[in-house]
Each structure stands twice: as structure tokens, then as C-alpha cells.
Structure 1
Amino acid sequence: MKAVWKGSIGFGLVNIPVKLFSAVQNSHLDLDMLDEKDHSRIRFKRINENSGKEVPYDKIVKGFLVNEKYVILDDEDFQDASPEKTKMIELENFVSIDEINPIYYETSYYAEPEKQGKKAYSLLLKALIKSKKAGVARFVLRSTENLCVIHPMNEVLVITKIRFPEEIRSAKDIDAPSSASINKKELDVGLALIKQYTSEFNIESFHDEYSIALLKIIKAKAKGKRATVKKLKPREELSDDLYGQLMKSLSGRKGA
């Protein structure tokens, strides 16, 4: 793997030199867009919507719409707004990772220590495991300031980017029926259903079934065949009998 970032984790007055490697990859299949007639690849061009002509990349500027007019930004504007380019992941405080709502999580990176930082790396790793805490920090990646949590996983420090509060949309306009009338009988059965489905979380039991099925179809078509893919049975139509549906779900789970 190729490192995407090199720098240090600041742990008090201790600097831990590290390299970051992407910890995630896309499980979706990389499909190309083709012309139906001859299967030539489709290329996209940057077109001026008024003239219809292609615009060279070096002639493209960036702007922000204000009062129906664009304010054009140049390189100096971006440099002035950019955080100071630092190679430090600055630990600011430590929290219980359970306190962080999953809606804030973005993407993760493995942190690998440089040779001279292995002992300090091991200290931070063991301290996080022992304390059951995660570090909250900031760092600059590709000229953008990022908020992240540093947490242990399988004897490795993981840097997981999290969103700033400004990036989370308000839910005030969502029509969530929190005040809907639920009687005790319905709630008790709902709780029983949750209890029946409760188990330890095992990520290995979940797979990208859509991509697996699609790849099966692709391989079969490459051989001039048609793959047989098992389809999920459609659910029965909704009914107003919530209690009856819950009881049927309970009995169906027991049968399984």
C-alpha cells in the first residue's frame, strides 16, 4: 500500500512519527459507461453552457453564487483560507468512543509508526486500550483541516475522520412521528422482537450481496450464460394491524 500522509501524532510533548494508509476500499464494481452501438467508452467534456464549446482546464475558475452573481476565487484566496500546512495530528482531548454518534464518522486510515517512533506508538496504543478511550485530534490532509478520532483496533492505531457539526444537516424538517400513540401491548412485543434478534455484532457475517450477485452475472455472461440469482421474497403488503404484524414477526423468527 502507498502512504497517503506522513507526519506525527502529537501526544503531549511526545511526537510519534507515522505514515497513514487507507483502511477502506470500495466493494462496488467499477463499471464503465459505453456507447450501446460499438461499446466505445464515453468521455465527459467541460462544456460552456452558453457557447456549447469545450473549455480548457487551465481556463476554468471557481466561484460562489452570491445574490445571483458569482464571486470568483483565485489561488491566493484559497491559500488565505487554508489551515496552516502542518504535519502534526494534534491530540486535543480523550473521550469514550461510545459518546460519538455514528453519523459523524467518515473514513479511516491505519497509522504505521516510523522506526524511531515505535516505542511511543506502542505506549499510546496500550494506553488507549487500557483506558478504553479514543483521542480527538485535528490534522491537515490535502490542504483541508480534518477532525478525527484515534482509536485502537487489532493492535494498530486507526485514524478515523469525523465530520464537523456544520456538516450535519438539521432533522427539524423531518416528519418523524415520535408522538404516535403506541400502547403497552405493542411496545412489549416490539421489545420482545428486539430481544429475539439481539446478538453480538460480527461484521464478518455481513457482505456486499449486491456486488457478489452482480459479479456472478458478469462472469456467467462472459461465458455466454445467464446466472441464476436467488431473489428475496417480497414482503406482504402493509396493514394497520401493528400488533398482529409484530406477533407474526416473533413467530416467524422462532420458526427460523
Structure 2
Amino acid sequence: MRSVWNGSIGFGLVSIPVKLYSASEERGLDLDMLDVHDEAHIKYKRVNEKTGKEVKWKDIVKGYKLDDKYVILEDEDFDNANIKKSKTIDIESFVEDTEVADVLFKKPYFIEPQKESGKSYNLLRNALKKTGKLGVATFVMRQKENLCLIGVYKDVLVLHVIRFSHEIRDAEELNIPKTKVLKKEAEMAESLIEQYTEKFDFKKYKDVYNTQLLKIIKQKSKGKKSKIDKVEDTPTAAKDLMAQLKASLERKNSKAS
């Protein structure tokens, strides 16, 4: 793995030199965009809107439009915006992991100690593991400030980039009905949840969609057409809610026995 960021974690007055590595990767099929008429590849080009000519990467700069005029930014301008945050992940506070809403999480990174920071790295890791807390910090990576949480996964420190509050849309804009739920219905739904509760093992969940899509691609290459299974998705009517909950519980119990 190649590191994507080098710097230090600030833990009080303790400085821990570290490297960040992307902890996740996309595993989709590599599909090309083609012209339907002759299956030629569709290319994306960086074109000057005035001349219509393609522009090389080395000739492209970044600019911000201010008062109808562009201000061109150099690499050093981004670094100088906050030199400290470009090199340091300062833990500002600690929170319980249950206090952070799932909707905030964006991307995880593994944290590796560098140089002679093994002991201080282990100190922070062990303390977080024992207290069950997450460190809250901000830092700059790829010319963008990130809010993050630092926790532990399989004896490795992990940094989770999370969203700032202004990046979350207002849920009040959604039209959520205020339909009353009966006590018996609520109790049965809670019982169903308890019946389906188990220890989380993410290895048992597989990317079935890509596997099926690849199967369709191979069949099409042989001139075969895939059999499509029809899926019915009928909303449960309010009057049938209890019956469906009861049937769900009975099905789960019969599978367990």
C-alpha cells in the first residue's frame, strides 16, 4: 500500500509521526463508455472553451473567480492556508462512539506509526481501546480540511473522515407521515428485531450484484440471454401490519428450530 498522507497526530503534548493509508477500495466492474453505433471508445478531453483545443495537464492551473476576475492559486497557496493542519492531526477532544451518527461517516484510513513512534502509537491505541472513546480532530489533506474521528480496529489506529454539520441536508424537508403506531404493533416489531439480532460479521455479506452482472456479461458474449427473476414489492397495508409481523416472527422461529 502507498501512504496518502504523512504527518503527526497530536495527543496532548505527545506528537506521534504517522502515515495514512486508504482502508477501503471500490470493487466494481471496469466498464468502458462506447458509441452505440460503432462501439468506439468515448474519450474525455480537457478543452479550452475559447480555442476548442485540448489542454495538457501541465498547462492547467486552479483559479477562484473574485469580482469577475480569476485569482490563480499556486501549490504553496494551499499549503500556506494552514501549514499546521497540513502536517498535524491534533486531537481536540474525545467522545463516545455512540454519540456519532452513522450518516456522518465518509471514508476510513489506516494509521501506521513511523520512525521511533511505536511506543506513543501503542499508548494512544491502548488508551482508546480501554476507554471506548474516539478522538475528534481536523486536518488538511488534498487541499481540503477534514473533520475526523480516530479509533481502533483490529489493534490498528483508524482515522474516519466524517462530514461537517453543514454538509448534511435538513431532514425536515422530507415528508414523514405522523401515522400512529399501535402498542401491540410496536412490541411485535421490537420482538422481531430481537429475533434477528446477532453478532455482526461483515465477511458474510458479499457483493452479489457485481457477481451477477459479470455472469450476464459472460452469457451475452456467448449469445445467450439471462433469465430474469421477477421481484414483487408490494407495500404492506396498515390493516395487514400485525399479520405480516406475526408471520415474520413465525418464519424466523421455524428457521431456528
TM-score (structure 1 length as normaliser)? 0.84
Pair 1:157–1:244, CA change in 2 (3 A): same
- Which residue number in structure 2 is paired with residue 75 of structure 1? 72
Task: Kindly report which structure 2 residues correspond to 1:212-223, keeping only aligned pairs within 5 A, or say none.
Answer: 212-222=211-221
What is the distance in 2 between the residues matched to 1:103 and 1:151?
17
Letter in 2 for 1:84: N
Note the residue ranges of structure 1 that are not aligned, 5 or more in a row.
Answer: none
Note the residue ranges of structure 2 that are not aligned, 5 or more in a row.
Answer: none
Deviation at 1:103, TM superposition (A): 0.8
What is the distance in 1 between the residues matched to 2:204 and 2:6?
34
Deviation at 1:201, TM superposition (A): 1.5
Structure 1 range deviating more: 55-64 or 6-15: 55-64
- Which residue number in structure 1 is paired with residue 82 of structure 2? 84
- Which residue number in structure 1 is paired with residue 142 of structure 2? 142
Structure 1 range deviating more: 35-44 or 16-25: 35-44
Pair 1:233–1:194, CA change in 2 (3 A): same
Pair 1:61–1:21, CA change in 2 (3 A): closer
- Which residue number in structure 1 is paired with residue 24 of structure 2? 24
Deviation at 1:32, TM superposition (A): 0.9
Pair 1:205–1:73, CA change in 2 (3 A): farther
- Which residue number in structure 2 is paired with residue 206 of structure 1? 205
What is the distance in 1 between the residues matched to 2:136 and 2:230?
42
Identity of aligned pairs, percent? Answer: 38
Pair 1:139–1:81, CA change in 2 (3 A): closer
Q: Is the 8 A contact 1:4 1:21 kept in 2?
A: yes
What is the distance in 2 between the residues matched to 1:60 and 1:4?
22
> Is 1:175 aligned to residue 172 of structure 2?
no
Once the two structures are superposed, residues 167-221 of structure 1 have per-residue CA deviations (whole angstroms, 9 ceiling, x without a partner) of 11111111112x3111122222212221222212211121221112112333444
Q: Is the 8 A contact 1:61 1:73 kept in 2?
A: no
Letter in 2 for 1:250: L
> How many residue pairs were aligned?
249
Letter in 1 for 2:169: R
- Which residue number in structure 1 is paired with residue 237 of structure 2? 239
Structure 1 range deviating more: 184-193 or 1-10: 184-193
What is the distance in 2 between the residues matched to 1:103 and 1:96?
16
Pair 1:59–1:195, CA change in 2 (3 A): closer
Structure 1 range deviating more: 132-141 or 195-204: 195-204
- Which residue number in structure 1 is paired with residue 155 of structure 2? 155
What is the distance in 1 between the residues matched to 2:236 and 2:155?
47
Letter in 1 for 2:72: D
Task: Kindly report which structure 2 residues correspond to 1:63-142, keeping only aligned pairs within 5 A, or say none.
Answer: 71-76=68-73, 79=77, 83-85=81-83, 86-142=86-142
Pair 1:229–1:147, CA change in 2 (3 A): farther
Once the two structures are superposed, residues 81-120 of structure 1 have per-residue CA deviations (whole angstroms, 9 ceiling, x without a partner) of 9741331111101111111101111101111111311111
Once the two structures are superposed, residues 113-170 of structure 1 have per-residue CA deviations (whole angstroms, 9 ceiling, x without a partner) of 1131111111111111111111111111012111111101111110110111011111
What is the distance in 1 between the residues matched to 2:68 and 2:135?
39
Pair 1:176–1:81, CA change in 2 (3 A): farther
Q: Is the 8 A contact 2:47 2:53 kept in 1?
A: yes
